[in-house]
Homo-oligomer: A and B are copies of this chain.
Amino acid sequence: MNFKIRAATKEDCKEIHRMIMELAIYEKMLDQVTISHEDLERDGFGQNPFFECLVAEVPEEHKSKEGRTAVGYALYAWAYSTWNGRSIDLEDLYVMQEFRGKGIGKGLLRKVAEEGKKKQCQRMQFTVLDWNKSAREFYAAKGAVDLTESEGRHVISFHGQNLDNLANEAAKD
């Protein structure tokens, strides 16, 4: 199938938001999602954007059952490894169910890697869920290393109230 991968624009944010929700449903974590498409517009397309985003698009004649032509996205941010320097933090890589197995995910992943190499990045890091076997196999087949298995790395997070509490303690000092 014909598809195109291009940089997202502000006008894509409603479709990106729709796909973020689809991915959260797939990951069974929709209750944790609070973001709006306005947040994406403000945070990704103003000055000093917080993320970069690619969209995968199919031509009109191949649109989805619901009439969508934006069928996948990759959202990432520039990060830093203190061991090796510039790094890509890949937050999401998603392809709609009915468009899987056509090389779109691979196309998105390669394009993120290519954008990273343009900035001399030495690493691309992200997380996957244990039970998401197809995603884990997809990345492993392309040469990714599972650092949780090989080094015992755990993902740790402060969020919402826990992050606020930490920040408020600082303000009190």
Query: Which residues in A have some Cβ–Cβ distance to B below 8 Å?
Result: 20, 23-24, 29, 32-35, 39, 43-44, 48, 50-51, 75, 77-87, 89, 91-92, 107, 109-111, 113-114, 116-117, 121-131, 136, 139, 142-149, 151-160, 162-167, 169-171, 173
Contact = CB atoms under 8 A, between A and B. Distances in A.
Listed residue (A85, A110, A151, A166) with the most chain B CB atoms within 10 angstroms of its CB: A166
A155 B35 CA distance: 23
A33 B155 contact: no
Given A129-B154, A130-B153, 7 more contacts: A33-B82, A113-B158, A113-B166, A124-B163, A127-B154, A128-B153, A136-B154
Contacts of A129: 151-154
A150 B117 CA distance: 34
A79 B50 contact: yes
The main secondary structure of chain A at its interface with chain B is mixed
A49 to B, nearest CB: 9
